[in-house]
Structure 1
Amino acid sequence: MWATPSPPLPLRLRRPPGPPPRPGPFLTRHRRRLNRISASQDPLSTLSRLLWGRALPPAQLVLAVRHGWTAAWQVLMRQLAPSDPATGAFTRTPSRFPAVVGTPSSRLHLYVGLPCPWAHRTLVVRALLGLEARLPVSVAVPGDDGAWSFTPDSPDGLYGKRRLREVYAVRSGGFEGRASVPLLWDAERREVVCNESIEIIKYLCGLADADGGGGGGGGLDLWPSELRQDIDRWYGVIYPSVNNGVYRCGFAQSQEAYDAAASELFGALDRLEAHLASSRYLCGDRLTLADVCLFTTLIRFDLVYNTLFRCTRRKLAEYPSLHAYTRDIYQMPRVADTCDMEAIMAGYFKTLFPLNPGGIQPLRPASCDGESLLRPHGREALPSAAGTPLEAAAVS
């Protein structure tokens, strides 16, 4: 038989006597660079420095990322803020339950989100009319995906649900669409009463009347029959140009759409400034729902809309009458308690990812702190402009 050959001996290279050779200057610099890079905890930084060092990224990469981000931004914005495909102008989705139908039961529950100006309207009216005991409230918070959710610190006080969408789904017909706030809910019938803010606050005024003056509202009537026509006319100015106008600026998807929205917004603010220079409130010396609807946008103006929504021509603090008017309403009993500035800022800067991808929240403007908002407003001395036609105020 053939003998099995022995395995070959391992190859051994003999190192010449003396110390090992030192690497050349190029290899030394390369090793030092790799060591510094490997010490980084950020893999993206490590990769980018390996590819192009401390130089700017290549032009092709910049263009590719820019086009990719623009496409992703457009997809996100179409879901967050639908727009007119032809103009890029923001088009608000109509409320699914825009009016109170029939006669709700006496067991009502209000769902709100503190950042939302539309929900804030309902909280201000609830506070002014003293309806806190009559109308319990649950506060939803924006989740990481932007959906209204509940947390252990801010629970659903009625059903213990985790998301507002689940509350909507309790209704007998189920629910599809956007789960928005405010939501006025009939707890006895397990049904949506309304989720359109202007109709909810009108309904709350009627609820206060039925309760004999709002149970602590001091007989305040925010929706008096003799002023309803004026209130509706003012709302016809405030809603499209100011309340929705700031969103039309922030969510515009073309330069032309933004320019048109910003021009209309600041034109309306200029006219409101002129009117309020001689009238304490929009309808004279009586606070009405029109003032509440304007207030919840103004209190957010310098806080978020001026920067995040690019409403930059002027700050609210640069309008003497409008800023004093905002302070006047803020200082009314229980109104300040509805204004959570930290929640408002977080709800915009940390949630509206397409507008602020880094989630960085800026410092609160000095005009929006408690000391500034509690400064005397001096508007008690203004004459009443009740009965002044809107045409005379240049806001028709």
Structure 2
Amino acid sequence: MDRSWAQPVSVGVVSAVIGVTSSFAVVLAGLTAAGADPAQAASGLVVLTALMGVATIWLSRRFRRPLMVAWSTPGAALLASTGAVAGGWPAVVGAFVVGGLLIVATGLVRPLGRLVGAIPAPIAQAMLAGVLLPLCLAPVRALVERPLLVAPIVVLWVVLSRFAPRWASPAAFGLALVIVVVLADGWSWLRPPEIALTAPAFSVAALVGVALPLWVVTMASQNVPGVAVLAAAGYPVPWRYAMVLTGAGTVLGAPAGAHAINLAAITAALPASPESHPDPARRWVACQANGVACLLLAPLATTMAALVAAAPPGVVESVAGLALLGTFGAALAGALAVADPTPDPAVARVPAAAAFLVSAAGVTLAGIGGAFWGLLAGVALHLVLRRRRAAA
């Protein structure tokens, strides 16, 4: 192979491995909490990984830019905090379909995109932070309950966070899998890839409590930052094309358990950087390699899901919590940011604080999960207090 292509290819493969392994446990936890049985959750992971690969290959080749697609990790965290809804797993699948259609509509209908943009960023970030809080507490609880199993994972994560931060979460996940293999009885965790289809059903609780928050968190925490990352690297994003492609991919993958795909945000920085290739015109090759690597990793998702399912309680949950700490910190910082500190910064933070607390409480009213109520509480307080400040 021409050595000039070796650098972007290696970067693409590394970004695929990091992207999949760093949040695999989070996505599996989300699908399982939403009501998927082991076969349905494994199916979702297989299809999500394959969709990421196909969409990344298509987008990057079509536009010759380092455009990369990922699964929605914040969306998976939202599912984990929301839990089961009225109508069960079929209703959740229906919510995935509607979420995908909303992403498509966001690309095609400008007012809908402006609606998402009208949600104050601190409130959206507060909702995300509230959703992530219970997951980020898991390592603390697991460390107390199973110190001999969890402490090595935490120590490895801390050490690599200091010296090789990109590999901290993948390595923690790998160590957790090694622990499970050592403790497992035989080789029953070796599984061929499988696809389990579920006919979507539709319920008001699932649409309001899952589809709407999933759409908001995917747009605010993945698609919009993904555009910003690529713009900072000098690459304009074909917004409408990308939204239609990822939204349609979500709709197609939903019956198999795929909750959402979107533009990559954090992991998008690596293929778009000089580390990928000195020539900006050649960096799209890294995304081609990323897509191929995802397609190769997809069949392994069923085996990895079986391993995770066989893990002692708390082990994999601790990995998921560690993987989300950085996202939680960024969301919390964004929630507490005050663009206009007048007249009182403390009052200005109240809407975001309310959104955070209601979302973190995990309350369910009328069958609708806490993320929606947290967002609603934050927006309502924002409108009330803004009018109060305007009147003053």
Structure-2-length-normalised TM-score:
0.25
Q: Which has the larger radius of gyration?
A: 1
The TM-score normalised by the length of structure 1 is 0.25
Higher relative contact order (CA 8 A, sep 6+): 2
